[in-house]
Amino acid sequence: MGAVFKKELRGYFTGLTGYILLAVMLVMMGIYAMIYCLSYQYSAFEFVYGNTVFVLMLFVPILTMRMFAEEKKQGTDRLLYSLPLKMSDIVLGKYFASLVVLGIPCFFTGIYPIILSKFGNINFKVVYAAMLGFFLLGAALTAVCMFISLLTENQIIAAIVSFVVLLLNYFMNNLTNYIPSTLFASTVILILLVIVVGLIVWAVTNNAVLADIVSIVLLLALIAIRLIKAELIQGILPKILNKIELFEQYFNIVYGSLDISTVVLYCSTIVLFCFLSVQVLERKRWA
Amino acid sequence: MIEVRNLTRKYGDYTAVNSISFTIEDGRIYGFLGPNGAGKSTTMNIITGCLAATSGTVTVNGSDIFDEPIKAKKCIGYLPEIPPLYPDMTPLEYIKKLSKGYKQRVGIAQAILGDPQVVILDEPTVGLDPKQIVEIRNLIRELGEKHTVILSSHILPEVSEVCDEIIIISNGEIVASDTAENLISQFNPSTITDVVIKGDADAAANAVAELDEVKEVEIDDSANDGTAKLVITSDDDIREKLAEAFVKNGILAISMNLSKASLEDIFLEVTSENLHMLTGKTGSQNSIASSAKYEETETVDNVDEIQKDAVNELYEETSEEGDE
């Protein structure tokens, strides 16, 4: 894992990618810090993180687009596969390297509140919770986009698809209003979802039996809930979607409540997508 | 030591490698020989753990490549068909600007970096100029002194020059496997002399047939200019004896050509679809094996289609790149 990590990290900074990403992120954060803290003289530095969170929508797709997409095109996937490395070493090595790039702007902006505290009252607990939340949110988004990068062989497609996925997630709150929440519609959508989950399991594991079992179990559970407690199903979709909305949850932290469920959501997103990435990488040997 | 047992790999319905088995002994140079699409790269990719096999096993120094991949992969250095270089890694110079020959060298350096026991090179001389080919060949010979080397090629002289053992693959199956000398003697123990004579072909054939050394004489009188060709099969070069016999019997011989089947002929013979074109030189055991193989014409058509697709894809890819 160490070698992959070093190689990837060096990869970000032999070209301009790493420098430009860092510069853009720091400039955006600097502008907001200037407007909020210097012009308007607010002491709530956490809102700088809250307002620059949208920059992650550009930062993360560019950070992850070349992770796996180009390997196949350049033939370097053969090298990774033939080296004595575990698939998890490859995925985690690359993932941690990108986390370092993500962590650098967090580290630098972490110095600002210390300087600002000379001139006003800073609530350090909230500020550093917001900073860590920013990093965790970025890490979760990075895991999602890394997975997307694995699914295509073209950097540009990886970046665009990642951007669209993050954009949808960003506006999820508004979009969920348009999702029907009647009992019938919810049931139909849930059945479709079960089928999609089954297909994903099948695609990732190449195990049709497992996919069938998962789908059937989920369907049975769905039927059971529908019969016993129909009101649970009603309007469940918008609820679920609101719960997995990564960006919106972050604002809880910015507004000062360090919600454990948010941290759990981010961490489980990271674990889930790293796991899926390892599975897909393993599966690619069959293609 | 690498042991491959009943290795099969399918791409959908198409069988790229069909239940092949062989053993790679330590300290020798092996050559995988076969036409494009024969399954050389697929086999190498499976041995190095880059591809999963549909069925069969590969054991490297006692470790199964699928069950104990880390242990097995430690023994192997691999140079795939396209040297796997990261263009953004620039140790001393820009890899992007390296020519194919230099990329190949960096690729080989990469493959032997961990000092592995086995070095596997997939088409190491493709796309190089003649000087570089000689250099790479010498390099492979040097490698062969300390490592076990497996290389693949569709170019025969390369394999026969460098390798101790030759494994000929065609349509996903091993059709021959031995040292170069053994292959030649195994497939063509006879020497064939073509003699063009003027005059009575039958009389000439009878005169030749009286010689003890001659095994078989065939008359080819398709030429209408009063000449006929005798195809004479014998164990050794008997041109002097033939000349004596012709003089003794007053037969006018215009030309005499000795043809001993080269490795090239054997390669063509065991891998070619057009078996009929090569009749006369065919060793009996081989012709049975080959004719049995080419009954599966469907698979062969399939290969053509797949290759066509691949070419189209390549073309599209290059034109896309051009657009960018």
- The helix or strand, by DSSP H or E, that contains position A158, with its residue range, turns out to be helix A155-170
Asked if A75 lies within 8 A of B69 by C-beta distance, the reply is no
In the predicted model, what is the mean pLDDT of residues A228-248? 79
Q: What does the alpha-carbon distance between residue B19 and residue A269 come to, in Å, rounded to a whole number?
A: 43
Range among A108-117, A223-232, B94-103, B183-192 with highest mean pLDDT value: A108-117
> What confidence score (pLDDT) does residue B232 get?
84
DSSP state of B57: E
What is the length of chain A? 287
Contact A194, A218 (CB under 8 A): yes
Chain B interface test: which of A67, A71, A83 (most B C-beta within 10 Å): A83
Range among A92-101, A255-264, B75-84 with highest mean pLDDT value: A92-101
In the predicted model, what is the mean pLDDT of residues A242-247? 82
Q: What does the alpha-carbon distance between residue A216 and residue A197 come to, in Å, rounded to a whole number?
A: 11
> What confidence score (pLDDT) does residue A207 get?
77
> What confidence score (pLDDT) does residue A180 get?
74
Task: Encode pLDDT of B56-73 as tens digits.
Answer: 999 998 888 888 888 888
Domain ranges of chain A: 2-176+245-285, 183-234
> What confidence score (pLDDT) does residue B90 get?
60
With cut-offs at 50, 70 and 90, classify the pLDDT of residue B130.
confident
Nearest CA among B153, B164, B115 for reference residue B264: B153
Asked if A78 lies within 8 A of B70 by C-beta distance, the reply is no
> What confidence score (pLDDT) does residue A131 get?
92
Q: Residue B192: beta bridge partners?
A: B233, B259
With cut-offs at 50, 70 and 90, classify the pLDDT of residue A96.
very high
Closest Cα of chain A to B262: distance in Å? 36
Cβ neighbors of A107 (< 8 A, separation 6 or more) are none
Nearest chain B alpha carbon to A6: B89
DSSP state of A245: -
Contacts of A286 in chain B (CB under 8 A): 51-52
Nearest chain A alpha carbon to B114: A83
- The Cβ of residue B137 has, within 10 Å, a number of other Cβ atoms equal to 17
Contact A116, A38 (CB under 8 A): no
pLDDT at B44 over 60: yes
Please give the biggest Cα pair distance in chain A.
Answer: 64
Contacts of A76 in chain B (CB under 8 A): 84-86
With cut-offs at 50, 70 and 90, classify the pLDDT of residue A163.
very high
Contacts of B78 in chain A (CB under 8 A): 78-79, 82
- Using CB atoms, pick whichever of A75, A82, A86 lies closest to residue B48: A82
pLDDT at B295 over 90: no
Task: Encode pLDDT of B197-212 as tens digits.
Answer: 887 888 888 888 888 8
Please give the biggest Cα pair distance in chain B.
Answer: 78
> Chain A to chain B, count of Cβ pairs less than 8 Å apart?
63
Task: Encode pLDDT of B233-287 as tens digits.
Answer: 877 778 888 888 888 888 888 888 877 666 666 677 666 643 333 333 333 333 3
Contact B73, A82 (CB under 8 A): yes
Asked if A74 lies within 8 A of B82 by C-beta distance, the reply is yes
Residue with tokens 């430009």: A20
With a cut of 0.90, is the ipTM above it?
no
Contact A266, A136 (CB under 8 A): yes
- The helix or strand, by DSSP H or E, that contains position B189, with its residue range, turns out to be none
Chain B interface test: which of A73, A81, A153, A283 (most B C-beta within 10 Å): A81
In the predicted model, what is the mean pLDDT of residues A90-109? 94
In the predicted model, what is the mean pLDDT of residues A126-144? 93
- Using CB atoms, pick whichever of A7, A84, A86 lies closest to residue B74: A84
Asked if B86 lies within 8 A of A11 by C-beta distance, the reply is yes
Residue with tokens 């997939």: B122
> What confidence score (pLDDT) does residue A158 get?
93
Nearest chain A alpha carbon to B314: A73
Asked if B73 lies within 8 A of A77 by C-beta distance, the reply is no
Nearest CA among B21, B17, B76, B86 for reference residue B49: B76
Asked if A84 lies within 8 A of B71 by C-beta distance, the reply is yes
A114's tokens: 């210390």
Asked if B82 lies within 8 A of A7 by C-beta distance, the reply is no
Nearest CA among A135, A11, A133, A281 for reference residue B50: A281
Q: What does the alpha-carbon distance between residue A206 and residue A227 come to, in Å, rounded to a whole number?
A: 33
Asked if A76 lies within 8 A of B71 by C-beta distance, the reply is no
Cβ neighbors of B28 (< 8 A, separation 6 or more) are B144, B148, B149, B164, B165
Residue with tokens 């999609």: A196
- The helix or strand, by DSSP H or E, that contains position A84, with its residue range, turns out to be none
Nearest chain B alpha carbon to A284: B51
Q: What does the alpha-carbon distance between residue B219 and residue B281 come to, in Å, rounded to a whole number?
A: 15
Residue with tokens 């989950």: A197
Q: In the predicted model, what is the mean pLDDT of chain A? A: 88
Q: What does the alpha-carbon distance between residue A181 and residue A222 come to, in Å, rounded to a whole number?
A: 16
pLDDT at A247 over 70: yes
First to last CA, chain A: 24
